[in-house]
Amino acid sequence: MDNYIIGTCGHIDHGKTALVKALNGFEGDTTNEEKQRGITINLSFSNLTQKDKNIAFIDVPGHEKLVKNMIAGAFSFDVIMIVVSAKEKIMPQTVEHLDILNILGIKKAIVVITKKDLVTEEELENNSKEILNFIDSYEFDIVLSKSVSIFDDNSIDELKEALFTLQADTKPSQNFFRYYVDRIFNTKGSGTVVTGTVLGNPISLDEKVFICDIKKEVKLKAIQVHGNDTQIANISNRAALNLQNIDTKLIKKGFIISKKGYLRGFNQVDISYTLLKDKELIHNTLYSIYLGSKKIEARILILEDGFATIKATEDIFSIYGEKLIIRQGNITIAGGVILNPIVDPMKKSQKRELLKALEKKDILSAYKILLQAHKKGLGLVSSSQRFALSHEEALEFARNMEECFIDEKSLVIYPLQTKETIKDIIKNIYIKNKYALLSNSSIGLRLVWASETFIELALEELCNENILTKDGNLYKNSDIKEDIQDKLEVIILQRLKNEGITPTAPYNIYDELDIDRRLGDTIFKALTKKKLVTRIQHNLFIEAQILTNLITEMKNIIKQEGYIDIKNFKQKYTMSRKYMIAYLDYLDKMNNIENKDGKRYLIS
């Protein structure tokens, strides 16, 4: 089924809610306050269906003090229905709504001139021209214009039929699902239910979703679209999501729900902005930022060339190209576009060039600038948030870049000069320990930012330069001709002899000698098999003769004092409690030793 969302806008009492009711029978003003005051306070949601086409309506308030609620709905519009009274014509709130829609980039518009029964035919014709000329000055794409009265059924039916003939474009798809929460309920028997508009990509009932603001992944119990249970909610669907095992009180209006791993939150984002007429932004001043259905209090740090940084006290989960509104009190100051939703450590000059490229949608240049700041690699996975690109689109941009290495498996791009950095690090390891014997993965433990594929490229070049030689999956110094494993056995055994009863743990030895962990384990097994070394515990190996001497001394303590425990053992030997317990436990394995309440005795 084709779906699109029509949002209403216009001045208070110009008939927006009455028009929606005339079209689909939905009573938008449902709260007592709304009915008593005769104005729409909250957003109301309804729909109209004909055959395979569904139109969702979002009716927004027109009162000047409720513009913030209008903004919360406007971000999800596919088409705007500009409602203007034939008698009153363009009024202040109409103008503010048009300003907001313009800076949010909503261009496809329907103009409905209401209350035509209150003016003469001549007035209707003249006023309609005036209204349309004014709206046209905002460069909207006016796809439909109608004059109606809710008391004239024919005019309403004509409008209704015309709406179903529209070929309205829905929101652009992205490679992940996003959804701003605009209402939260707790329903008996179902639990927590949220409503919002599907953005980015559809969501299916068998998928898990991630509540970004509280970093919690949950399952979906049910999905409803306009009151009907469904297995999938598509882009531009007004959808209710029944969330499993989550307290309603934990979720707030403006929270964003997505898929795990796609959106990271930052308390700073960079934007371009456009001021409304006669308005200004003051540097380092607190403003209200409206992003989707979320309101954030944040400081605006003015940069040059129409750019600014939003600095908030909470994380912002946004994507490239997302629109926002900046207000102060009840006054709309400016509109903005998210250019840089991810905080990057970079120089001011780099950021300035980055924002210029992003404003022009010059993604290739943006990648090049970012790569200068990310010497240790730029993750292409983040491109879905950073540039609103799929992984394949991100790879395609990367493939068009020169002087870089792309790891398509790990989805990371590196400046080619970084390969020399990796080579220098590896060479220094083999200079420090000429008997170093490392694998790609063991080098990767030290260079956690480098992918195995990139490290492999550096290792291959070092082999080609005759600096290293490959031995199975290990790399050794090309100058070493002897059997390194035999040499390492000698080195490790001598080290254990030197360290006596407080030997270093194997993994620390491996790191200090720069040898692969698997190889190190093999060497310790070989020394143990030859009975040159004894394994006391998982990570404690001691030279065999030193252990024999120690056990003899421990038994002498028992003979002299009647027993051995931590206290009298410590009086004879200076070592940590860790070693003492290990040796006492080892003593317990002997047939002539008995352990009673931590004291070891000789059995006659």
Q: How many CB atoms lie within 10 A of CB 243?
A: 25
* Segment 439-489, tens digit of pLDDT: 999 999 999 999 999 999 999 999 999 999 998 899 999 998 888 889 999
Tokens of 383: 């491109």
Question: What is the fold of 178-258?
Answer: Elongation Factor Tu (Ef-tu); domain 3 (2.40.30)
* Segment 374-402, tens digit of pLDDT: 999 999 989 999 999 988 889 999 999 98
Instruction: Tell me the pLDDT band of 14, cut-offs 50, 70 and 90.
Output: confident
Distance CA 85, CA 96 (A): 16
SS3 annotation, 371-428? HHHCCCCEEHHHHHHHCCCCHHHHHHHHHCCCCEEEECCCCEEEECCHHHHHHHHHHH
Among 538, 453, 549, 552, residue whose Cα is nearest residue 501: 549
Distance CA 49, CA 36 (A): 30
Provide the residue type at 517 as one letter.
R
**Parallel, antiparallel or unpaired: strands 323-328 and 307-316:** unpaired
Q: Is residue 561 scored above 80 in pLDDT?
A: yes
Question: Looking up tokens 């796809």, which residue turns up?
Answer: 143
Give the count of alpha carbons within 13 A of 300, CB side only.
27
Among 327, 299, 337, 278, residue whose Cα is nearest residue 67: 327
Instruction: Tell me the pLDDT band of 62, cut-offs 50, 70 and 90.
Output: very low
Instruction: Tell me the pLDDT band of 514, cut-offs 50, 70 and 90.
Output: very high
CATH 3.40.50.300 is the classification of domain 2-165:
yes
CA dihedral sign, ordered 489, 492, 497, 498: positive
Tokens of 391: 């992984």
Task: Phi first, then psi: give them for residue 67, nearest 5 degrees.
Answer: -60, -30
Mean pLDDT value of segment 334-361: 92
Q: Is residue 73 scored above 80 in pLDDT?
A: no
Q: How many CB atoms lie within 10 A of CB 223?
A: 21
Helix and strand totals (H; E) in the chain: 19, 31
Per-residue model confidence (pLDDT) at position 427 = 96
Stretch (H or E) spanning 198: strand 191-199
Dmax over CA atoms of the chain, in Å, equals: 123
Instruction: Tell me the pLDDT band of 40, cut-offs 50, 70 and 90.
Output: very low
Among 102, 107, 24, 103, residue whose Cα is nearest residue 59: 24
CATH 2.40.30.10 is the classification of domain 266-340:
yes
Among 13, 100, 24, residue whose Cα is nearest residue 58: 24
Distance CA 176, CA 173 (A): 8
Report yes or no: 565 and 598 within 8 Å, Cβ to Cβ: yes
Domain ranges of the chain: 2-165, 178-258, 266-340, 348-415, 418-477, 484-602
CATH architecture assignment, domain 418-477: Orthogonal Bundle (1.10)
Topology agreement, domain 178-258 and domain 418-477: no
